[in-house]
Amino acid sequence: MSDIAVTMIANLVVNNADEYRKYEKGFFPILKKHGGEFISYDDNSLHLEGESPLQGRIILFSFPSASAAQAWYADPDYQALSQHRRVGTVLKSLTMVNGLPPRN
């Protein structure tokens, strides 16, 4: 595993706001527990190029390393909480993007 920071990109469509709110309320403490930081979200992103415009909400958050991101995802508390997301949304994708290594 690398010590390079990673950015997570989630794309989901909310179809049950009450269930998704339960997920949102629990998301931030678990994110912070693993050193994660929330960056932004957008419900109306602008698709400029390519074949498949993203639908719904785009969410960006980061972790100090890939191992921290994987620990967050595997955390039993997160997996239990994610049941609300699974009921309240259609997850189109969750992608981990590696940051650039430090330049000398």
Q: What is the pLDDT of residue 47?
A: 87
Q: What is the pLDDT of residue 14?
A: 97
How many beta carbons lie within 10 A of that of residue 57, not counting itself? 18
The token pair that represents 31 in the structure block: 């994110």
Q: What is the pLDDT of residue 51?
A: 82
Q: What is the pLDDT of residue 2?
A: 61
Q: What is the pLDDT of residue 66?
A: 97
Give me the domains of the chain, ranges plus CATH numbers. Answer: 6-43+55-98 (3.30.70.100)
Q: What is the pLDDT of residue 24?
A: 97
Q: What is the pLDDT of residue 53?
A: 73
Q: How far apart are CA 31 and CA 96, in angstroms?
A: 14
Residues of the chain falling short of pLDDT 50:
1
**Residue from 58, 44, 61, 59 nearest 5 by CA:** 61
